[in-house]
Structure formats: C-alpha cells, structure tokens
Structure 1
C-alpha cells in the first residue's frame, strides 16, 4: 500500500485543472514563500499552491516585482516568474501559479529541481558525515535502552549507513539512519524508510520516520535543525520536505507523473 503522503499528493494532483495536467508537476506547501521548481525554465512550470491561499498571492507579488528567490540547497540567487491561469467571469481566485526560475543550471543528464524561498538561508551548507565511534555508540545505547519503544526498530536500523547532519557551530546534531525497504511493484513504488534522531545537551531524542532517502538538507527554520528533502521511488516524482523544529512534520511536497 502506498504511504499516506503519496496518496495525498495524488489527490492534490487530481484537483489540478485539465490544462495543467500531464507531465507538469505540482508543489504544495504549508509555509509562506516555500516552493519547488525546476532549475531550467525549459523544463516547464511547476504549479505551486499553498495551504493558505494568501501565501500564493504573496509569492506572485514577490515575483512580479522582480525580487529574487533563493535555492535553499546552496543559497544561490534566482529570478522567479509566476503565471496565473486565465480567470473567467464568476470563477474563484486561482488555486495555483505556474512557477519558473532563471539562474545557474548545473550540467546533468536529468532534470534538476530545488526548494526555493523568498529570503536566503542562514545555513546554505550543512556538514554531512559518518558518525564517529562516540556518536554512534551513544545512539546505539539510547536505542537499546528502551526495548518496548525501539525493539522492532532496532532490528531494521542500518548503522553502517548512518549520517550526521549539523551546522559548523551548531549545538545539536541530527542523525539519519536507514531502515526497512518498502516496495509495491503494482504501484511502481519503492523506498527505504529513514529514521531521524537529534542529539542535544541532554542526549538523544527520537524524532520519527521519513518515507524515503534524504536528497538534501536545507535551512527552513533559521536554527541548527535541518529540513530534510526526501525522495521516494514512484511512477513519476515523489519528493517531500520535512521539518524538525517542534517535532517531525511534513512541510511541503513536490511531484506528479
């Protein structure tokens, strides 16, 4: 069975007008100013919508004033263009805007996307590394200390592929550990769950599970906890953004067939 977040993305795409359907992709965000887009305008627009419709109007106004947007994966500056669909008499306000950006495009054989914001990130680069022996030992001890909570989880964690994520001088360290693989061949779906822990001054805390492998880490809260841009293998694109501040929660999605 497909995970809930993938089903939600499929439902959202089903609501896109027919003129927007087909190969075009959709970005759905709960945060003002956060949206996904292709790096090359030649790849076409990504139709961005927000949980709060006022945030869509804010983004459109921002782009119409030629103000820049910033790719959170590196802090690179881009220009954005927002196109609203034609509105007929009596029709409600537009549900989404077609977003394209203009700026540096890395050489690649595949289409490249990024997560964009209206302001530059405080942390454009995160330090990603293998945990050292002390970090890994402390995390394993934490997981082994509560068999009721972590008994089943402990058997699926792949410690050798764990990664730490942190700022240069951040007080907290995020650790991401791969877990079980989920496959649904009939739905062309396959992804490896990853488990997220945060180490602070009082030790480790378990934040929860994200549905796929993190492709990148981004600054969405201006603190020492990264946002995780996660991808799942599906019939198309299944990308989601997860925040850690205040608990693990999904913040945005990007995808479509």
Structure 2
C-alpha cells in the first residue's frame, strides 16, 4: 500500500470515528433537550437553563465535527487524485449543452448519447417515484421525476426505478443501458457540497457511477462543478450530466483542449 493509499485509508477510519462520535453527541443533545423540557414543565428555571446550555454546547461540537469531517474528506479527495495521477494539468472546454433537442456535442464518444429521436410526447419507462409525506423529500422526488421526463423527451432511453444494481443498491434510473442516480441539490448547497454528495454516491456508497444533477433549485454553474471535478476527481465516478430548466449539460468527464 502506498503512503497516499495508507493516508486515504486512515482518513476513512477517521471519518467513521467522527460519524460514531457525532451520533453519540446527537443522542446526548436529544436527551439534554428532553431534560430541559422536563425542568421547564416543573418550573425549575435554573436547571432547565443549564440543560439548554449543555444542549447548545453539544450542538456546537456537532458542527465542529462536521467541519472536521469535511476537511478530512477534501484532503482525502486530493490524496486519491494524486494516487491515481488524475490531477489535471491541462485546460478544459466549457461544458456542452445538448438542450431539449439533444444536439450532438463535439465529442459524442465522451458522454452518453440519446439513441432515440427527441419527442415532447415521450415518457420514461418504468414507474415514477411516489411523493411522500415530507415536503423536503417531495421536492427531490419531484425533481427526480421531472429529470426523467426531460431526458426521455430529449431522446434518451430511460427507465425509472429499475431493479437493484450488482452492489444491491437502487439507483433512480437506467439510461441507455447504464445505471444512473439523480441528485437535486437545494438552493443553499454550494459546489463543495455537491462534490461531496457525488463522492458519497459514486465512491463510498457505490450507488451509481453515473449521476445526473437537477439544478433547477440551485445556482451552481456547470463550469464551477466541472472545474472542481477536474481539480478533485472522484474515484469510480464515470459521468455527470446537469439538467437545468429543461436543458441537458454534459459536465464530466472533462473534454480536453
């Protein structure tokens, strides 16, 4: 094992430990909140205030743990890129937009292409995802269904909610014979957070090696994401497309100049 691989493995172990400590802290925070509420109901203001203060300190510790984990994961991404010799040394061309009509891009062999003629009447195969009771989850599910429809209209052969993949995971789609997962970041998610989610889906959880991102609620540009993926490549990630306002944009892999 090389030093970089050993470092990456150590970081993985550190992240797992942070997860365990975070879970313990979150449990303690819930208990402190319950204790504070109990004291309030008894009219005991001083111990209630002390319990609430404890809860606040634990919450601050959880935030610090999250920040530490984020820094570790970024360092790990750099290590993996160095280990694989993937840190880019050349420029890239801007991301290619295929639009609703799925116009061929300059390097058709680089990205997954639609095999069918575009049609506004075409729908995805399979079953759309059903909305749940949680409004936050419904937003992501709605974007997932909208993304599938956009890709189908552009001529992509797409199936929603296919059977599990070889790792027992359940990606959202099969597109042109390959498993893809959908991700719809919120308006507050920055490019670093999007990159982190891609890494979890592709490298850590092995959910899918190809991911389509619906950015209808997010203002991170394709160029921002492409530059970060070029600087910090993700192991096992093979392809990324962005869907924005009905337009399909090929972001990754990066087309070299």
The interval holding the TM-score normalised by the smaller chain is under 0.3
> TM-score, normalised on structure 1?
0.26
Q: Which has the larger radius of gyration?
A: 2
> TM-score, normalised on structure 2?
0.26
Larger fraction in helix: 2
Larger fraction in strand: 1
